[in-house]
Amino acid sequence: MLRPSASSDIRNDIRSTELLVQLLNPDGDRVPDPEFDHWVADVTGEQLRSLYEDMLVVRRIDTEATALQRQGELGLWPPLLGQEAAQIGSARALRADDFVFSSYRENAVAYCRGVQMGQLLAVWRGTALSGWNPFDVGMATPAVIIGAQTLHATGYALGCLQDGVDSVAVAYFGDGATSEGDVSEAMVFAASFQAPVVFFCQNNQWAISEPVALQAHRSIADRAPGFGIPSLRVDGNDVLAVMAATRIALDRARSGGGPTFIEAVTYRMGPHTTSDDPTRYRDPAELERWAAKDPISRLRAYLEHEGLLTEEFEASVKAKTDDVARELRAACLALDPPHALSVFDNVYTSAHSVLERQKSQYAAYLAMFEEVAE
Amino acid sequence: MSIMTYRQALHDTLRAEMLRDQNVFLMGEEIGVFDGSYKITAGLLAEFGEKRVRDTPIAEEGFTGAAIGAAMLGLRPVVEIMTINFSLLALDQIVNHAAKIYGMFGGQAKVPLVIRTPGGGGQQLGATHSQNIELYYAFVPGMKVVAPSTPADAKALLLAAIRDDDPVLFLENLSLYNTKGEVPDDDTPAEIGKAAVTREGRDITLIGYSRMAHVASQVAEQLAASDGLDIEVIDLRSLRPLDRGTLIESVKKTHAAVVLEDDWLTYGIGAEIAATISDGAFDYLDAPVRRVAMAEVPLPYSKPLETAALPSADDVIGAIRQTLDAVGHRRR
């Protein structure tokens, strides 16, 4: 599992990345790595506990949202079960002025960015077009066309260059997305203009029912060097390795070194969405193998070794996750359906003759029902 | 007021807007060192530098998508797609992203993007390089589509497009780049969504845009001289929003209309115009609205075949005569 140590500086190295960077093995043992260690050397015991709490909170959000969907309160939910370390480790490395362009499964990233519980669910409950204001939290509303957001991130990064700021755009996408032309074009543009963008690929092994082997004949991370982009392949279930890799990429982008590609190797433990049944196409033995590499249990084991897993701490985490679940459910049920006439809003930024005509016709139609009611 | 070409009006307007607003920048293939395939961006790289005039890799989906991201940040990208034919490679970014982000972000992120791109046949560029597919974009809520036919409108509509907070497809036309006309010195933007009655008349309304607005004017002058006909000409200028009011008011006066379009007849823009007139002025019509469009074939490279396929002034005159025959010349 371990990447052999290389003689050159990993930050500038473009090379084969078949092997995996790991700082925390599935048993929770800290694996020393001379090149990556110093990128997380400042992480204190308190911060480790905080990462652990984050991962439990987002797993609870995920569980509760899945339950809400099953109970008919949400139309759909895309669970992130198993990908907590990949999302928390990367999102917690970001600065507030960085900007995230994500796909639809990055609910843990959204949580880290400060998206509120109700905002997280509004789109899935069908009460709003967008759950949150992207500029309040530095994260765009999720893109639902696979891979398209990588180009938006690249363009945003070009804007950062133009403005002379050291903010970084981060594109989250999956293994399936890497087959889309948009992702290749995004890498071409990012490399050509040395745009401060991080391509963060969560290889969760499955694009609905298609295994990653159908998308890539060898490791996805190996593709980026062909575009002239340095690439890192990390254990995506290892929150420390993910954080180290993200910090390397962010540091390079901020200091004018251009884009970095990170492949976080993880596993989608649940279905693609609540509409999917993975037992139809997935070997249960594979699920078991990955369950043994669970991102939360390995950090828990590490905390235990370090004497950080006190009863008091566990109780406080339990209380926190219970609160979050209650808050999530209450926020969901409090989301009111939008007024029918608002269907005409937000198509254009200013008045549009066709829409105004259609809106007034529809308003007159709706008014007929009010007259009947009276 | 100065006399200049359509090309010069576009160039000068881009330059003026870049001087006025630091957020305006250009991206596209060959627009920098090469000055643009049609030389609209000539000299701008030297003047503004490569951060504001970016030669991009050959990837329309790529630079259109990147421009969308930059626009969401607050920049005002003006991308050049070398011809509208290549916009098909950026269809997803235009239709699914540029047009929808404002709505799907709940009105919280604007995409003030301009896509400049020429269309038009008649240049012997063959089937894949001569299409008029602006209706693909005029079909999509969230998009605006404007199509200037004169140097003055090229300026006024480009000013409006760049200053608009919505994504605008700005349709140019290869056959118009060298045409000349008066251009006002002041920088008043046009109102997007307003057609222009470029010639007033009582007998019949001719409706066109871009190159076909010129054909309409020529035919109107020719038939005024030869037949004493009093023809009203409307230059649509904007395909989305469509100026429904101007179309209907004109037909209420003339009671007949012919639509000129450079695209294919079936499902073409003329069908929308005809339907709009039927809807708004049915009782005023003395004859069905006729459409003049190109032959429904991929446009050939061969000059005689290309000429045969494209709509001509004679086709328009034929359609006018047929329409007036149907009216029964009752007014004359």
Q: For B142-162, how does the pLDDT look when each residue is reduced to its tens digit (9 = 90+)?
A: 999 999 999 999 999 999 999
Write out pLDDT tens, residues B284-294: 999 999 999 99
Give φ, ψ of A100 to 5 degrees.
-100, 135
Q: Are residues A220 and A252 in the same domain?
A: yes
CB atoms A152 and B65 under 8 Å: yes
For B193, the closest of A153, A192, A353 (CB atoms) is A353
Look at residue B298 and tell me if it is in a domain.
yes
Q: Are residues A242 and A355 in the same domain?
A: no
Neighbouring CB atoms inside 10 A of A213's CB total: 10
pLDDT given at position A7: 37
CB atoms A153 and B243 under 8 Å: no
B304 confidence band (pLDDT: 50, 70, 90): confident
Q: Are residues A311 and A358 in the same domain?
A: no
pLDDT surpassing 50 at residue B210 = yes
Q: Are residues B175 and B276 in the same domain?
A: no
For B69, the closest of A155, A185, A357 (CB atoms) is A155
- Domain's final residue, options B128, B161, B183: B183
* Range scoring the smallest mean pLDDT among A145-149, A225-229, B170-174, B269-273: A145-149
Count of CB contacts below 8 A, A vs B?
Answer: 151
Q: Are residues A182 and A118 in the same domain?
A: yes
Lay out the sheet containing B238-240: strands in order across.
B53-55, B24-28, B76-80, B114-119, B168-173, B144-146, B238-240
Q: Are residues B150 and B40 in the same domain?
A: yes
Q: Is B142 on the interface with A (CB under 8 A)?
A: yes
- Which residues of B belong to the active site? 60, 129
Is residue B267 within 8 A of residue B215, CB to CB? The reply is no
CB atoms A185 and B244 under 8 Å: no
CB atoms B65 and A182 under 8 Å: yes
Question: What six digits make up the tokens of B276?
Answer: 């709009």
Residue range B103-120: mean pLDDT, rounded: 95
Give φ, ψ of A203 to 5 degrees.
-80, 95
Prior bond of B241 cis (ω within 30°): yes
Q: How far is A294 from chain B (nearest CA, A)?
A: 34
A1 confidence band (pLDDT: 50, 70, 90): very low
Q: Are residues B295 and B322 in the same domain?
A: yes
Q: Is the pTM of this model over 0.80?
A: yes
Residue B236 with chain A: CB contacts under 8 Å: none
Look at residue B152 and tell me if it is in a domain.
yes
Question: What six digits make up the tokens of B71?
Answer: 């626009």
In the DSSP assignment, the letter for residue B31 is S
Question: What six digits make up the tokens of B283?
Answer: 């009782």
pLDDT given at position B318: 96
List residues bridging with B205 in a β-sheet.
B232, B257
Look at residue A175 and tell me if it is in a domain.
yes
Range of the domain at B177: 2-183
Write out pLDDT tens, residues A173-232: 999 999 999 999 999 999 999 999 999 999 999 999 999 998 888 899 999 999 999 999
Point out the catalytic residue in the list A3, A49, A92, A272. A272
CB atoms B107 and A346 under 8 Å: yes
**CATH number of the domain encompassing residue B72:** 3.40.50.970
CB atoms A155 and B144 under 8 Å: no
Q: Are residues A117 and A210 in the same domain?
A: yes
d(CA B300, CA B125): 8
Neighbouring CB atoms inside 10 A of B49's CB total: 12
pLDDT surpassing 60 at residue A103 = yes
Q: Are residues B205 and B170 in the same domain?
A: no
Look at residue B191 and tell me if it is in a domain.
no
What type of residue is B248? I
- Closest residue on chain A to B75 (Cα): A159
In the DSSP assignment, the letter for residue B92 is I
Q: Are residues A89 and A187 in the same domain?
A: yes
CB atoms B106 and A130 under 8 Å: yes
Neighbouring CB atoms inside 10 A of A286's CB total: 14
Look at residue B190 and tell me if it is in a domain.
no
**CATH number of the domain encompassing residue A77:** 3.40.50.970
d(CA A222, CA A175): 13
For B93, the closest of A128, A141, A151 (CB atoms) is A151
* Range scoring the smallest mean pLDDT among A251-255, A310-314, B261-265, B273-277: B261-265
Residue range B203-218: mean pLDDT, rounded: 98
Q: Are residues B112 and B202 in the same domain?
A: no
Q: How far is B66 from chain A (nearest CA, A)?
A: 4
Q: Are residues B39 and B169 in the same domain?
A: yes
Q: Are residues B213 and B175 in the same domain?
A: no
Q: Are residues A31 and A57 in the same domain?
A: yes
Q: CA nearest A224: which of A203, A255, A239, A247?
A: A203
- Domain's final residue, options B123, B156, B183: B183
Question: What six digits make up the tokens of A299?
Answer: 């950090």
Q: Are residues A235 and A296 in the same domain?
A: yes
Give counts: helices (H), strands (E), chain B.
Answer: 12, 14
- Domain's final residue, options B148, B183, B218: B183
Look at residue B147 and tell me if it is in a domain.
yes
Look at residue B188 and tell me if it is in a domain.
no
Residue A342 with chain B: CB contacts under 8 Å: none
Residue B74 with chain A: CB contacts under 8 Å: 159
- Closest residue on chain A to B56 (Cα): A189
| The three-state (H, E, C) secondary structure of chain A, written as one string | CECCCCCCCHHHCCCCCCCEECCECCCCCECCCCCCHHHCCCCCHHHHHHHHHHHHHHHHHHHHHHHHHHCCCCCCCCCCCCCHHHHHHHHCCCCCCCEEECCCCCHHHHHHHCCCHHHHHHHHHCCCCCCCCHHHHCECCCCCCCCHHHHHHHHHHHHHHHHCCCCCEEEEEECHHHHCHHHHHHHHHHHHHCCCEEEEEEECCEECCEEHHHHCCCCHHHHHHHHCCCEEEEECCCHHHHHHHHHHHHHHHHCCCCCEEEEEECCCCCCCCCCCCHHHCCCHHHHHHHHCCCHHHHHHHHHHHCCCCCHHHHHHHHHHHHHHHHHHHHHHHCCCCCCHHHHHCCCCCCCCHHHHHHHHHHHHHHHHHHHHHC
Residue A156 with chain B: CB contacts under 8 Å: 69-70, 72-73
For A185, the closest of B25, B61, B102 (CB atoms) is B61
Q: Are residues B223 and B138 in the same domain?
A: no
Q: Are residues A294 and A345 in the same domain?
A: no
* Range scoring the smallest mean pLDDT among A105-114, A152-161, A214-223: A214-223
Q: Are residues B140 and B213 in the same domain?
A: no
CB atoms B141 and A186 under 8 Å: no
Is residue B131 within 8 A of residue B155, CB to CB? The reply is no
* Range scoring the smallest mean pLDDT among A10-24, A288-302, B86-100, B316-330: A10-24
Q: Are residues B248 and B175 in the same domain?
A: no
B28's enclosing H/E stretch is strand B24-28
Is residue B62 within 8 A of residue B94, CB to CB? The reply is no
Q: Total structural domains in chain B? A: 2
pLDDT surpassing 80 at residue A373 = no
For A349, the closest of B68, B166, B244 (CB atoms) is B166
For B141, the closest of A182, A347, A353 (CB atoms) is A347
What type of residue is A3? R
B244, HSE (Cβ side, Cα atoms, 13 Å)? 17
Neighbouring CB atoms inside 10 A of A16's CB total: 12
Point out the catalytic residue in the list A281, A348, A357, A365. A281
Range of the domain at A80: 7-333
Q: Are residues A239 and A364 in the same domain?
A: no
A35, HSE (Cβ side, Cα atoms, 13 Å)? 17
pLDDT given at position B105: 92
d(CA A338, CA B259): 41
Question: What six digits make up the tokens of B28?
Answer: 């596209």
Is residue B167 within 8 A of residue B111, CB to CB? The reply is yes
B58 confidence band (pLDDT: 50, 70, 90): confident
Instruction: Provide the residue count of chain B.
Output: 332
Whether residue A272 lies in the annotated active site: yes
pLDDT given at position A129: 82
Is residue B98 within 8 A of residue B91, CB to CB? The reply is no
- Give the DSSP letter string of B117-180: EEE-S-SS--TTSS---THHHHTSTT-EEE---SHHHHHHHHHHHHH-SS-EEEEEEGGGTT-E
- Cα–chain center distance at A33: 26
Look at residue A1 and tell me if it is in a domain.
no
d(CA A96, CA A17): 30
Q: Are residues B179 and B323 in the same domain?
A: no
B259's enclosing H/E stretch is strand B257-264
Q: Which of residues 241-300 of B touch A (CB under 8 A)?
A: 241-245
Q: Are residues A351 and A271 in the same domain?
A: no
d(CA A278, CA A209): 7
Q: How far is A90 from chain B (nearest CA, A)?
A: 21
> In terms of DSSP bridges, do strands B231-235 and B196-199 run parallel, antiparallel, or are they unpaired?
antiparallel
Reduced to 3 states (helix: H, G, I; strand: E, B; else coil), residue B99 is coil
Look at residue A2 and tell me if it is in a domain.
no
Q: Total structural domains in chain A? A: 2
Q: Are residues B137 and B217 in the same domain?
A: no
Q: Are residues A325 and A360 in the same domain?
A: no
**CATH number of the domain encompassing residue B313:** 3.40.50.920
pLDDT given at position B329: 57
Residue B104 with chain A: CB contacts under 8 Å: 129-130, 141
Reduced to 3 states (helix: H, G, I; strand: E, B; else coil), residue B69 is helix
CB atoms B105 and A159 under 8 Å: no
pLDDT given at position A374: 66
pLDDT given at position B332: 46
Residue B245 with chain A: CB contacts under 8 Å: 353
Is residue A113 within 8 A of residue A119, CB to CB? The reply is no
For A133, the closest of B104, B108, B193 (CB atoms) is B108
pLDDT given at position A354: 85
Is residue B208 within 8 A of residue B147, CB to CB? The reply is no
d(CA B62, CA B68): 10
Look at residue B70 and tell me if it is in a domain.
yes
Helices (H), B173-243: 211-227
A18 confidence band (pLDDT: 50, 70, 90): low
Cα–Cα separations (whole angstroms), residue A317 to A51, A53, A281, A314, A325: 11, 6, 36, 5, 12
List residues bridging with A165 in a β-sheet.
none
d(CA B229, CA B219): 10
Q: Which of residues 175-234 of B touch A (CB under 8 A)?
A: 193
CB atoms B65 and A129 under 8 Å: no
Point out the catalytic residue in the list A3, A113, A125, A268. A268
d(CA A327, CA A301): 29
Look at residue B139 and tell me if it is in a domain.
yes
- Closest residue on chain B to A138 (Cα): B73
